[in-house]
Amino acid sequence: MPGEWAKVRGTVLSLWPLFLCLIALGAFGAALVLGSHVLSFAGLFVVSLMLTIVFWWKGVRRVESFFKGARGEEHVAGLLASLPAGYHVFHDFVAGGHHVDHVVAGPTGIFSIETKSWHGSVTAEDGEILLNGRLPDRAPLVQATREAAAVQAALKRAGWTTGDVKPVVCFASDTFADTQRTIGTTMVLNAAGVTAWIVGCPKILTGDEVERVAQLMETCV
């Protein structure tokens, strides 16, 4: 399901400190009631309570950011569903330890799509993608290239050697100023144009080849 991994991963990464704080809060609360060192346990209980509040606030905000990304994946999945017959779309595709947002296989090739839901000014300068004029914490071009290579390697292990997997960075928020641009080997574009671009690429695979690679992705990868 599109966005499922983002939701699960975001919830676990964001809230595990809160769970630990709740355990500590319960333990110190019980010790406060049953123990003999009342002042010590009272202090620890108050500290645990304060940490619980802090991690709850930070965790909820972080979870929302992951869920925003998941909604972007769901939006792009809806657009990819309109691809014509002959195209196969896989969401949250696992290859080499990477969770790839979307992989498309069709007559125009195989595409590994990394979805971003960025809000702000998204520009391309000096071979980098910038958000509000700054480099993001995770470079999407590097991420997309690694994921495409992981899909390529997984297919090769399954016996597929025809053509390269094309890395794509797709902005679900349609905030990329250039709308559509090739940077290095990666296509960077807004979600509004992703299906038209995929269909408009030169056809390089036969119908039988598309079906074979789709079967490999469903069963062997």
What pLDDT score does 21 carry?
A: 62
The pLDDT of residue 61: 62
Average pLDDT over residues 71-81: 90
37 within 8 A of 92, measured Cβ to Cβ: no
How is 109-169 classified by DSSP, letter by letter? EEEEEEEE---S-EEEETTEEEETTB--SS-HHHHHHHHHHHHHHHHHHTT--SSPEEEEE
Look at 37-46, 71-80, 104-113, 150-159 and tell me which has the smallest mean pLDDT.
37-46
Range 160-189 average pLDDT: 94
- Kindly state the tokens that stand for 23: 């355990």
Mean of the per-residue pLDDT values for the chain?
82
Residue 167, pLDDT > 60, answer yes
Return d(Cα 176, Cα 129) in angstroms, integer.
9
Non-local CB neighbours of 186 within 8 Å, separated by 6+ positions: 141, 144, 145, 167, 168, 169
Structure confidence at residue 96 (pLDDT): 81
Query: Is residue 57 over pLDDT 60?
Result: no
Q: Please state, in angstroms and as integers, the Cα–Cα distance from residue 147 to each residue in 22, 29, 98, 214, following that order.
A: 37, 47, 6, 18
- Pairwise pLDDT comparison (15 vs 205), residue with the higher score: 205
Question: What is the average per-residue pLDDT within 67-95?
Answer: 88
46 Cβ contact partners less than 8 Å away, ≥ 6 residues apart: none
Half-sphere exposure of 135 (CA within 13 A, CB side): 8
Distance between CA atoms of residues 185 and 199, nearest Å: 18
pLDDT of residue 73: 86
